[in-house]
Amino acid sequence: MNELDIQISVEEGDWPSEEALHALAERVLGAAATYLREVASQPFPKMPAEVSLVFTDDASIREINAEWREQDKPTNVLSFPAFPLEPGGMPGPMLGDIVIARETVAREAADLEKSFEDHLTHLMVHGFLHLFGYDHMNHSDAEIMEGLETRILAKLGLSDPYAGQDPI
């Protein structure tokens, strides 16, 4: 079952081709959607829900972060749900937007000694979960969200990105 209609936009930065990013997004977000549906009992609309991935650079994401979160600094990923959603709630036809910054992803991947693609995969999953109402603002919510991330990433063959850390 195809739960998603994935839209890709490369706005700024030295990203792989849109075709390569779309293939990665289909694999990653497809696995996340399947996990949420089959294991977390997440409902999905009958028609594929649209999710938009915007690939940009640090300068652009800094502007977005300042405008929407009042944090005048670049960040790795921002998620903008189309509609407020509680975990387990029925999403509408549009899930929302995930915006990812190239330089921050590359810098963090190097710091974590991970490949760029592995770190990008993690951030796609992280941003996707935010569209479904998951958050990490308090310890118990962070445990739930990070547990989902870890299990989805394991399905994709990646190790626990939070191993040895307390939830954020």
Angle formed at CA 123 by CA 23 and CA 40, multiple of 5 degrees = 85
pTM above 0.85, yes or no: yes
* pLDDT tens-digit series, residues 47-100: 999 999 999 999 999 999 899 988 888 899 999 999 999 999 999 999 999 999
Domains and CATH numbers, the chain: 4-155 (3.40.390.30)
Looking at the predicted structure, is the pLDDT value of residue 168 above 60? no
What lies within 8 Å, CB to CB, of 167 at 6+ separation is 136, 139, 142, 143, 146
- Helix (H, G, I), strand (E, B), or coil: what is residue 137? coil
Nearest to 123 by CA among 24, 7, 16, 11: 24
Counting Cα atoms < 13 Å in the Cβ hemisphere of 130 gives 18
